[in-house]
Chain A
Amino acid sequence: MAATTAAEAAPGRRPAGRRGRLAPYLLVLPGWLWLAVFFVAPIASVVSMSLMTGSLTAGFTFTFETANYTRALGLYWEQILRSLAYGGLATLLCIALGYPVAYWIAFHGGAYKSTYLLLVLLPFFVSFVLRTVSWGFILADNGIVLGTLKDLGVLPGDAGVLNSAPAVVFGLAYNFLPFMVLPIYAVLERMDHRVVEAAHDLYAGRLQAFARVVLPMSLPGVFAGVIMTFIPTSADYVNATILGGTHNTMVGKVIETQYLVNNAYPLAAAITVVLMAVLLAGIFAYARALGTEQVMEVQAG
Chain B
Amino acid sequence: MTATEGTRGGAGAEAERGAGPGAEAVAGAAPRRVRRRPDWGKYLTWAVLAWLFAPILFMVAFSFNDAQGRHNVTWQGFTLRWYGDAFAYPDLNAALANTLSIAVLTMVVSGVLGTLLGVALGRYRFRGRAATDLVMFSAISAPEVVLGAALLSMFLTMNVATGYLTVLLAHVMFSVSFVAITVRARVLTMDASIEEAARDLGAGPVTTFRLVTLPLLLPAVTAGGLIAFALSVDDFIITSFVSGSTQTFPLWIWGATRVGIPPQVNVMGTLIFAVGVLLAAGNVLLARRRAR
Which A residues lie at the B interface, using CB under 8 A?
1, 5, 7-10, 12-14, 19, 23-25, 27-28, 30-32, 34-35, 38-43, 45-46, 48-49, 97, 100-101, 103-105, 108-112, 114-116, 118-138, 140, 142-144, 147, 174, 177-178, 227-228, 231-232, 234-238, 242, 252, 255-256, 259-260, 265, 268-269, 272, 275-276, 279-280, 283, 287, 292-293, 295-297, 299-301
What size tier do the contact residues of chain B reach? 35 or more
Partner of A300, one of B51, B156, B184: B184
Q: Is B80 an interface residue (CB 8 A)?
A: no
Given contacts A125-B276, A272-B145, contact A130 B73 (CB under 8 A): no
A40 to B276, CA, bound (A): 33
Given contacts A49-B153, A101-B48, A118-B280, contact A275 B54 (CB under 8 A): no
- Among A101, A108, A143, A234, the most chain B Cβ lie within 10 Å of the Cβ of A101
Would you call B153 and A45 a contact (CB within 8 A)?
yes
What residues on B are CB-neighbors of A42 within 8 Å? 147, 150-151, 153-154
A143 to B55, CA, bound (A): 13
Would you call B284 and A115 a contact (CB within 8 A)?
yes
Would you call B141 and A231 a contact (CB within 8 A)?
yes
Would you call B149 and A12 a contact (CB within 8 A)?
no
Would you call B181 and A300 a contact (CB within 8 A)?
yes
Would you call A292 and B41 a contact (CB within 8 A)?
no
Q: Which 4 A-B pairs have the closest CB atoms?
A: A125-B276, A235-B143, A104-B41, A134-B55
- Among A131, A178, A268, A293, the most chain B Cβ lie within 10 Å of the Cβ of A131
Given contacts A127-B234, A134-B59, contact A31 B185 (CB under 8 A): no
Would you call B233 and A127 a contact (CB within 8 A)?
yes
How distant is A45 from chain B, measured CB to nearest CB, in Å? 4
A287 to B192, CA, bound (A): 31
Partner of B125, one of A1, A10, A116, A119: A10
